[in-house]
Amino acid sequence: MKNAVSGGGLAPDAAMVTFPINMFLPGSDINPLQERRREIYEGLTGWKSQSARAAGPSKMLEVEGATYEQALDKANSLLLARKWGDGLPLLPATKERVDWILKGAALPRTHVLGKFPPLGGVTTVETCAIALAMAGGRPEYLPVLVAAVEACLAAEGFDQLQATSGGPFPAVIVNGPIAKQIRLNSGFGLLGPDPQHPAGASIGRALRLLQQNVGGALPGVGTMAMFGAMRYTNAVFAEAEDELPSGWLPHGTQRHGFDPGTNSVSVVFASGVANVRRRGAKKETPEEDALNGMWRMADFMRAPNLAVLAGWEKGTPGVMMIGPVVAQRMAEVGWTQQSIREFLWENSKIPMDQMRRAGAPAYIEIDSNPKTRASIDLDPWPISIKPDNIVLVVAGGGHPTHSYWLQAHSPTVPGRVIRTPETFERLLDEADRDLGGNV
Amino acid sequence: MVKLEFHDPSGVLEVTQPHAPRLASLEGKRIGFVSNEQWQAYRMLPLLKESLEADFPGVTVLPVDAFPQGNAVIGEEEVARLVKISGVDAVIVGNAA
């Protein structure tokens, strides 16, 4: 709440009276409200902001140690004490390291990308570089991080996504040649960790640090994300564009209209994941194998997950990831991207009697979007307004057994073109020098 | 000694407007509610209305539904406009969770 006040341009505090959560549950004893009512009256009369002014310009911090190791430990302890860490070791964002990261900037370091909600910290290219430096990143990762931040800041309701108890986290899908160039994974283990493809971990971790340190999404304080959803690194991965079946479009083209070959990011806010064992076990024909797998995917999607309401019209109910081998075999027996989406949409519809027994209609009735509210008349109830809302991405290891369903709480799916500096090729050469040949 | 100097990663906050001035007293004032209709607000805010009316004779407390309610709308400019033209001296916003 205080974050939201700050995000609105007010000093970062508010006249609030807080109570334990139990009072806010159905059937609760609300007498404590009566007992503490004078605190509420005080909020309207005598309360004064304790923040005479907001935080000033970004500062430099300093620690000392007898050795570099001691200084490094002190720096990490200081970052945790200030609630700016994530529990894993960080690289202090020294001037030298940040300047190095900024070699990847296509925009001036002081360029303002926006205010990171809900706290409202002003986010510049330099702010991103500081986070990426702390997260162990490299200069060639910065263009993807900046584009991902731009996409997040453009997302509808991003302030609420940051704070809500469901804990949606950014899943950043990267298209274009930059993915391979910076060693972003689209294959085995693409959601990490993978030392052969370290970019996604650093970029996603930097994004998470920005969400927390600049946007205020501190667990239990600025974000009520109950479970946290493995958000150390968010999910940053590439589509396996080189392995798309003939005629299939890259995600950035299908969803955002970017020309094939454009470096781009697309951000879905995911709230959970499910591994779907889609491959048959015995003597299925290719057609049966494909169809059985499609049913298993649809069955996972056909759940009254009310988070999908947020993106029912303009966003997405989730990302279905199918491996390149699977995509190829399905294409060979006649499936297209469109027919896959249509099958999944049609067969993930939920009978309204099942919606009713789960109490789902009440959530539909209070939705802010009139089109979503009107969907209460649909039986069975589709998890999005149209098949195209389902994000279908070809990615994953060269293996036919599984698909992966990232269920979403995503009012929109913002996309952004990635801008690289003129010196980008040199940065890639330096990466080859430092990390060895790009696999 | 080894000195390590590094950037504060928290960015910069800009304060663009002050908090509303507080009232000297609630006596004789006009109070409104902006409710998100969540977290037992339908029980708590009426109780608070009763309390205000009992504790401050002469106070006018608008009905809980005097302004549009619900998480989806209370942050909108239209609600702020309605609050302004209502002539209230103060509003209580609830319930966050």
Which of A185, A187, A181 has its CA nearest to residue A427?
A181
Q: Using an 8 Å Cβ cutoff, are A131 and A210 in contact?
A: yes
Q: For residue B49, which residues of chain A lie inside 8 Å, CB to CB?
A: none
Mean pLDDT, residues A309-329 taken together: 97
Distance, in Å, from the CA atom of A238 to the CA atom of A396, rounded to the nearest integer, reads: 9
| Comparison of pLDDT for A368 and A247, the residue scoring more | A247
Tell me the residues of chain B between 25 and 44 that have a Cβ less than 8 Å away from chain A: 25-26, 31, 37, 39-40, 43-44
* Burial (0-12, 13-18, 19+ Cβ within 10 Å), A303: middle
Q: For residue A127, which residues of chain B lie inside 8 Å, CB to CB?
A: 9, 11
Task: Report the greatest alpha carbon distance in chain B.
Answer: 68
Is residue B3 pLDDT above 90, yes or no? yes
Q: Using an 8 Å Cβ cutoff, are B83 and B67 in contact?
A: yes
Confidence of residue B18 (pLDDT cuts 50, 70, 90): confident
How many residues appear in chain B? 97
Confidence of residue B95 (pLDDT cuts 50, 70, 90): confident
Which of A222, A220, A258 has its CA nearest to residue A239?
A258
Which of A206, A192, A64, A54 has its CA nearest to residue A130?
A206
Distance, in Å, from the CA atom of A276 to the CA atom of A401, rounded to the nearest integer, reads: 8
CA A102 and chain centroid, separation: 23
Mean pLDDT, residues B38-45 taken together: 90
Q: Helical H runs in A45-186? A: 68-81, 95-101, 125-134, 142-154, 158-163, 178-181
Percent of chain A with pLDDT over 70: 97
Residue A246 neighbours by CB distance under 10 Å: 6
In whole angstroms, how far apart are CA B29 and each of A116, A128, B67? Answer: 37, 48, 18
Nearest residue, CB atoms, A58 vs list B11, B31, B48: B11
Is residue B90 pLDDT above 50, yes or no? yes
First-to-last alpha carbon distance for chain A, in angstroms, is 46
Kindly report whether the peptide bond that precedes residue A369 is cis, defined as omega within 30 degrees of 0.
Answer: no
Mean pLDDT, residues A266-284 taken together: 93
Is residue A2 pLDDT above 80, yes or no? no
Distance, in Å, from the CA atom of A166 to the CA atom of A415, rounded to the nearest integer, reads: 23
Mean pLDDT, residues A85-98 taken together: 97
**The pLDDT value given to residue A151:** 98
| Comparison of pLDDT for A437 and A71, the residue scoring more | A71
Asked whether the ipTM of the predicted complex exceeds the cut of 0.95, the reply is no
Ranges A8-12, A430-434, B50-54: which has the least confidence: A8-12
Lookup: tokens for B3:
């000195």
User: Residue A96 — φ and ψ, nearest 5°?
Assistant: -60, -45
Question: What rounded mean pLDDT belongs to chain B?
Answer: 90
Distance, in Å, from the CA atom of A175 to the CA atom of A151, rounded to the nearest integer, reads: 14
Which residue is associated with the tokens 């910065």?
Answer: A142
Mutate to test the interface with A, among B1, B3, B4, B38 (most CBs of A within 10 A): B4
- Judged by a CB distance cut-off of 8 A, whether residue A95 touches chain B is yes
Distance, in Å, from the CA atom of B86 to the CA atom of B29, rounded to the nearest integer, reads: 13
Mean pLDDT, residues B5-15 taken together: 91
Confidence of residue A11 (pLDDT cuts 50, 70, 90): confident
**The pLDDT value given to residue A209:** 98
Mean pLDDT, residues A130-159 taken together: 97
Ranges A51-55, B58-62, B71-75: which has the least confidence: A51-55
Which residue is associated with the tokens 């990762």?
Answer: A141
Q: Are strands A316-322 and A402-410 parallel, antiparallel or unpaired?
A: antiparallel
| Comparison of pLDDT for B11 and A299, the residue scoring more | A299
CB within 8 Å: B44 and A9: no
* Burial (0-12, 13-18, 19+ Cβ within 10 Å), A370: exposed
Is residue A71 pLDDT above 80, yes or no? yes
Ranges A89-103, A242-256, A381-395, B51-65: which has the least confidence: B51-65
Contacts of A291 (CB under 8 A, 6+ apart): none
Q: Residue A37: left if φ>0, alpha if ψ -120 to 50, beta else—which one?
A: alpha
Percent of chain A with pLDDT over 90: 82
**The pLDDT value given to residue A53:** 46
Question: What rounded mean pLDDT belongs to chain A?
Answer: 94
Distance, in Å, from the CA atom of A349 to the CA atom of A304, rounded to the nearest integer, reads: 10
B25 to chain A: nearest residue by CA? A45
**The pLDDT value given to residue A14:** 84
Which range, A208-217, A274-283, B21-30, has the best average confidence (pLDDT)?
A: A208-217
Nearest residue, CB atoms, A45 vs list B23, B95, B96: B23
Residue A156 amino acid letter: E
Residue B86 neighbours by CB distance under 10 Å: 13
Lookup: tokens for A257:
């209209």
B41 to chain A: nearest residue by CA? A24
Confidence of residue A58 (pLDDT cuts 50, 70, 90): low
Distance, in Å, from the CA atom of A349 to the CA atom of A384, rounded to the nearest integer, reads: 9
Lookup: tokens for A386:
């149209």
- What is the distance in angstroms between the Cα of A105 and the nearest Cα belonging to chain B? 18
Q: Using an 8 Å Cβ cutoff, are A280 and A329 in contact?
A: no
**The pLDDT value given to residue A214:** 96
- Judged by a CB distance cut-off of 8 A, whether residue A77 touches chain B is no
Is residue A15 pLDDT above 90, yes or no? no
Distance, in Å, from the CA atom of A26 to the CA atom of A226, rounded to the nearest integer, reads: 19
Ranges A232-246, A284-298, B9-23, B76-90: which has the least confidence: B9-23
Mean pLDDT, residues A173-188 taken together: 97
**The pLDDT value given to residue A110:** 93
**The pLDDT value given to residue A9:** 80
Lookup: tokens for A87:
């529990």
* Burial (0-12, 13-18, 19+ Cβ within 10 Å), A276: buried
- What is the distance in angstroms between the Cα of A311 and the nearest Cα belonging to chain B? 14
Tell me the residues of chain A between 13 and 72 that have a Cβ less than 8 Å away from chain B: 14-16, 21, 23-26, 28, 30, 33-34, 37, 40-41, 44-49, 51, 53-68, 70-72
Kindly report whether the peptide bond that precedes residue A118 is cis, defined as omega within 30 degrees of 0.
Answer: yes
Mean pLDDT, residues B52-63 taken together: 92
Write the DSSP assignment of B60-81 as a string of letters: EE--TTSS--STTTTTSHHHHH
Confidence of residue A55 (pLDDT cuts 50, 70, 90): very low
Q: For residue A56, which residues of chain B lie inside 8 Å, CB to CB?
A: 12
Which of B10, B2, B69 has its CA nearest to residue B34?
B69
Which range, A87-101, A274-288, B19-33, B39-53, has the best average confidence (pLDDT)?
A: A87-101
Three-class HEC string of A240-303: CHHHCCCCCCCHHHHHHCCCCCCCEEEEEEEEEEEEEECCCCCCCCHHHHHHHHHHHHHHHHCC
Ranges A39-53, A134-148, A175-189, B59-73: which has the least confidence: A39-53
**The pLDDT value given to residue A413:** 98
CB within 8 Å: B73 and A119: no
- What is the distance in angstroms between the Cα of B77 and the nearest Cα belonging to chain A? 12
Is residue A51 pLDDT above 80, yes or no? no
Which of A218, A207, A227 has its CA nearest to residue A83?
A218
Is residue A118 pLDDT above 80, yes or no? yes
Confidence of residue A90 (pLDDT cuts 50, 70, 90): very high
- What is the distance in angstroms between the Cα of B52 and the nearest Cα belonging to chain A? 8
